[in-house]
Amino acid sequence: MNDSDIKQLHNEAMDEAFYGEIAKKNNDFMKSQKHFKDAFEKEHEVVVYAISHNYEEPGRSILLKSCAALAKAINDYSQAEKLICLALSGNPPAEISEELRNMYEDVTFYRHLQVKNYELQPSEIQVSMAGKGVSYGMGPIDSVMSRLKNFNTLSIRAAERCNGIPFRRVGKPNKQIINFAHSYLSVPKAASLSFIIRYTTPGHYDMGREFVPETEIIDDITKNLSFIENGEYSKLEENIPEINYRNNFISLARELAPDGDDINLFGITSVDSQGNILKTALKKTRIELSTDIDISVADESGESNYVVDEISGTLKVASDIAHSITIISKGNTKYSVQISDGLSDIVRNYFDEEVVAKVKKSNGNKLELISIDPCD
């Protein structure tokens, strides 16, 4: 074999991967796995040749990364892990190193999603986080606590929606929901950083037969988070037809999403009605989710009759009655921004903080909030 044969073999591997991707998009799992397996075997040969012939950077790490991605595609996480480590042991360019580290966290995250030394019950969810800021059993307080709090809000909203309760604009949830939300949090479990949340009602309280069981609510959350991770917004719309609930879910999912820095992965593990363990990872960063959502909203609405703008400043005053917030810019300009019902839970996270708000400017210069992010 020579360099020319290796180029040819690499091309064949990439063609197989290309057909694998097409089959995957057509939901033909068996066919896609066959193509990915063939692609992996060919690319592995290429990698062995490249290493034994001392290929220089960036070629060495690009080929190893490509082969690791194919190993991951056929669920051979152990092989993927070895290839990534081999790539990192060279001297890859900064971008490739970063991608390799992200891929490493990705392949090992599924291990973190395994529930260790504990039998997860149908009324429980394991929430896991991993990333540069997370060490074995420890994590940054702000990033971890805010995600747990937002996950709890998301669970409450899911319980209300699953029980047919109209979207609550203000006030507290009703007594049934408060009792559902009477959840318990375990001590952190070392893995990446995991917690078990148990949804349980106080012993003396009868939820009533008509109340949708917590297992269905957990299934609903799991399904909707995976729609968001896969960019399947039409399926999300089918599952959450009411726009306020849908916007609320999307916005809370953005709050849970990795920041790409301290937290690179957020995942939940649950048990379905057949006792199968379901592992759902949210790997897209907040920024990537925002792009997906913008595109999805743009595609839905087609031609728009409003302008989108960004406002930076401190979120100072909020009025539940007028359903609006005020953002004061550094130049002391006050912007009054209307918030739709679905976004009220998210706005509360940012009181008195520096934010960047994406707003719709419609006729009459009325500003309406699309999304809100903390300032970098």
Instruction: Point out which residues bind another protein (CB under 8 A).
Output: 3, 6-7, 10-11, 13-15, 17-18, 21-22, 25, 39, 43, 46, 50, 55-56, 58-59, 62-63, 65-67, 69-70, 72-73, 93-96, 98-99, 103, 106, 260-261, 287, 291, 294-295, 297-299, 302-304, 306-308
Angle at 126 between CA 121 and CA 132, to 5 degrees: 165
Q: Residue 151 has which token pair?
A: 């996950």
Shorter beta-carbon distance to another protein: residue 238 or 261: 261
* Minimum CB distance to another protein, residue 76 (Å): 14
Q: What are φ and ψ of residue 304, in 5° steps?
A: -105, 150
Shorter beta-carbon distance to another protein: residue 122 or 231: 231
Shorter beta-carbon distance to another protein: residue 107 or 268: 107
What gap in Å lies between CA 67 and CA 63, rounded to an integer? 6
Measuring CA to CA, how many Å separate 118 from each of 189, 266, 269, 316?
10, 20, 12, 45
Shorter beta-carbon distance to another protein: residue 103 or 367: 103
* Minimum CB distance to another protein, residue 283 (Å): 10
* Minimum CB distance to another protein, residue 7 (Å): 6
Q: What are the CB-based long-range contacts (under 8 Å, 24+) for 19-28?
A: 20/73
For 180-229, the DSSP string reads HT-EEEPPPEETTEEEEEEE---TT----TTSPPHHHHHHHHHHHHHHHH
Shorter beta-carbon distance to another protein: residue 26 or 114: 26
- What's 134's DSSP letter? -
Shorter beta-carbon distance to another protein: residue 291 or 319: 291
Shorter beta-carbon distance to another protein: residue 162 or 293: 293
Residue with tokens 């220089």: 56
Shorter beta-carbon distance to another protein: residue 100 or 191: 100
* Minimum CB distance to another protein, residue 93 (Å): 3
What gap in Å lies between CA 73 and CA 38, rounded to an integer? 11
Measuring CA to CA, how many Å separate 166 from each of 245, 256, 272, 341?
9, 24, 26, 11
Q: How many CA atoms lie within 13 A of 143 on its CB side?
A: 22
Helix then strand count (H, E) for the chain reads 12, 11
* Minimum CB distance to another protein, residue 125 (Å): 26
* Minimum CB distance to another protein, residue 350 (Å): 20
Looking at the chain, how many residues does it have?
Answer: 376
* Minimum CB distance to another protein, residue 336 (Å): 21
* Minimum CB distance to another protein, residue 231 (Å): 8
